[in-house]
A and B are shown apart, each in its own frame.
Chain A
Amino acid sequence: MKKIIGQIVVVFVFSAALALLVNGVRKGGIPLVTPFPPEYQCPSRMTEGRSMPVNEALKQHGREGAAFVDARAKASYDRGHIQDAISLPYSFLDPVPPEAVDRLSKYRRIVVYCNSEREERSRLMAGELSEAGLHEVSYLEGGFLDWIKAGGPYTGQKPLGHEQ
């Protein structure tokens, strides 16, 4: 048993040393110590935005002062998105950047969407944008998939199902 514990320790130490070496040398290495930024606020306060049914969102689309915000990853947005939507990938770890909030402040009504079954990403993002002081922020019920099913205009590919 002692021998096995020794081997486990050796494997861990060797792997960690290799990991640190590669991370230090490579181009895309990440910092090991990441102090909390002073402006850091946990976005997962579970404050959720107001929901908006698809039929209501369809009426809003294209209206002056209304913006659709895509909370999914940029790669998903590039594959396909609601027509004229703004890509603003939401991370559960980082707060929405203040510049993005500024950019959205010119709109009177904002509809955030994602394409997951439980819409968690868009719900949280809508809540965070509301708390940041933006008016009339809602999240799209059913996300991108239900938008397409309801005949909403989109650019790129149709999603085959719900994503994350």
Chain B
Amino acid sequence: MLKGIAKRLSRPWFVSLLRIGLGLVFIAASLDKIQNPQLFADNIANYRAIPYPLINPIAVTLPWVEFVAGSLLVMGIWSRANALILSGMLVLFSLAILQALLRNLDISCGCFSTDPEAHEMTRWTLYLNLIWLWWGISVALVDQGRYTAAGALAWARKRMRYQP
């Protein structure tokens, strides 16, 4: 039975759906942070886990890594590498959330919005991050490079050749 489920879950269309979904999630997560780097820097500072001089450089670069890796993932370019990048980031996010919860910090996670009032961080924030992490690792392990932007282009070119 488990084999059957695993077989179904590793079907190319399903894995591609996971890949595109993960990419879109990270693109969505990056947009507000890119727009408001100062607010995102405040969000990072609220975790009280990052040395002060590193806060701004991280606030500037991290959303762009999310955006670029997410976009490449949606297009199916270097899928494994990008899924690994996003999974690595999710490991760090999960650790940051875990330490904040253990220290009872009353802060917003800053995951999708830089508004400090946006979302109260609870253990569900951590669980959600772990689900994303599982998602990212699955893509990194089983993506077969199907349904990509390059594939779509090749298919379009092929069709154009047959329709002069």
The residues of A with any CB-CB pair to B shorter than 8 Å are 4, 7-8, 11-12, 14-16, 18-20, 22-23, 28-36, 44, 72-73, 75-76, 91-93, 116-121, 162-164
A117 vs B107: C-alpha distance in the bound complex, in angstroms?
11
A95 vs B69: C-alpha distance in the bound complex, in angstroms?
36
- Contact among A19, A33, A92, A116 for B48, CB-based, below 8 A: A92
Chain A residues with CB under 8 A of B55: 34, 93
Q: A28-B37, A118-B104 are in contact. Are A18 and B68 (CB under 8 A)?
A: yes
* Interface CB pairs A-B, < 8 A, 21: A4-B84, A7-B82, A8-B84, A8-B85, A15-B67, A15-B68, A16-B61, A23-B37, A28-B36, A28-B37, A30-B56, A30-B59, A33-B53, A34-B56, A92-B107, A93-B46, A117-B106, A118-B104, A120-B105, A164-B118, A164-B120
Q: A19-B64, A92-B45, A162-B120 are in contact. Are A36 and B52 (CB under 8 A)?
A: yes
Count of residues in B whose CB is under 8 Å from the partner chain: 42
CB contact list, B1-52 vs A, under 8 A: 34, 36-38, 41-42, 45-46, 48, 52
A130 vs B84: C-alpha distance in the bound complex, in angstroms?
48
Q: A91-B42, A164-B120 are in contact. Are A19 and B60 (CB under 8 A)?
A: yes
A22 vs B61: C-alpha distance in the bound complex, in angstroms?
10
Chain A residues with CB under 8 A of B45: 91-93
- Contact among B34, B60, B80, B117 for A164, CB-based, below 8 A: B117
Measured CB to CB, the nearest residue on chain B to A31 is B56
- Contact among A4, A23, A72, A118 for B80, CB-based, below 8 A: A4
Measured CB to CB, the nearest residue on chain B to A76 is B117
A91 vs B42: C-alpha distance in the bound complex, in angstroms?
8
Q: A23-B37, A30-B56, A33-B53 are in contact. Are A11 and B116 (CB under 8 A)?
A: no
A11 vs B73: C-alpha distance in the bound complex, in angstroms?
11
